[in-house]
Amino acid sequence: MRKIDTLDDIAEGLEALLQAHPELDVIAKRAGPLPLRRSEPGFESLASVIVSQQVSKASAASIWGRLVTLINPLTPENYRAAGEEAWRLAGLSRAKQATLARISEAIMAGELDLHGLCHQPIDEAMAAMTSVKGIGPWTAEVYLLFSAGHADVFPSGDVALQHAYAHAFAESARPDSKALRQFAERWSPWRGVAARLFWAYYAATRGRDGTPIA
């Protein structure tokens, strides 16, 4: 199982993609250097992905700053102990409060091993994560890509990736998650590098960072 742990891994994956798919060369030139953006696996990393769901990057950063100030360190045990008042003060929506509570409970009960997922095949890791109510495919894929370091993950439900694809290939409308997932299969086993490429392309063409993590 390939992993992305260093910038050398990014370089290897990008070279392989460009050799197999020369149409990506112009996209890569526009995108510029691809960042690694790895985070340590665990509850805090997954919580940051949950916080970033369906809000602007600025809003997510503000909420995240309050959350890690109110609950420090941010562990499953401390999150549950802090209670609803702290969750509300941090700015978490009720849905995100509940999702993080369920994740905390699953970890504390030994039902969800966020470190062990780093060494599981993608399908098994996805099934384990999405079995927890509130963790959808996008959340699981972003975690597996940036925290677990899986190299062959492409979060096709990401709106920035959909816009970047449409712009890069001159499509009149952005594809939905299913269509983009099918298209991205051709970039296996380096779909994680392809995702970074299109996020970087989005930043270069839109003038703002669309990557769903800090």
Predicted confidence (pLDDT) per residue in 106-123, tens digit:
999 999 999 999 999 999
- Region 24-44: what's the mean pLDDT? 96
Tell me where in the chain the CATH 1.10.340.30 domain(s) lie. 43-146
Looking at the structure, give the CATH architecture of the domain made up of residues 43-146: Orthogonal Bundle (1.10)
- With 60 as the cut, is the pLDDT of residue 214 above it? no
**Mean pLDDT score of the chain:** 96
- Quick one: pLDDT band at residue 164, thresholds 50, 70, 90? very high
Cα–chain-centroid distance for residue 213? Answer: 7
For 143-156, what is the mean pLDDT?
A: 97
Report pLDDT for 57. Answer: 86
Is pLDDT of 135 > 70? yes
Between 213 and 147, whose confidence is greater? 147
Decide: 168 and 25 in contact? Cβ < 8 Å: no
User: Which residue spans of the chain are classified as CATH 1.10.1670.40?
Assistant: 7-36+152-206
pLDDT of 178 > 90? The answer is: yes
* CA dist list (Å): 160 to 156, 163, 196: 9, 5, 11
Confidence of residue 212 (pLDDT cuts 50, 70, 90): confident
pLDDT score of 158: 96
Rounded (10°) angle between helices 191-206 and 177-184? 120
**In the block, which residue shows the tokens 């390939």?**
2
pLDDT at 141 over 70: yes
CATH of the domain spanning 7-36+152-206: 1.10.1670.40
Residues 6 or more apart whose Cβ sits within 8 Å of residue 179 = none
Contact call for residues 65 and 91 (beta carbons, < 8 A): no
C-alpha radius of gyration, the chain, whole number: 17
State pLDDT tens for residues 52-80: 998 888 899 999 999 999 999 999 999 99
In the chain, pLDDT over 70 holds for what percent of residues? Answer: 99
C-alpha dihedral (202, 95, 113, 116), degrees to nearest 10: -10
Mean pLDDT calculated for residue range 16-31: 98
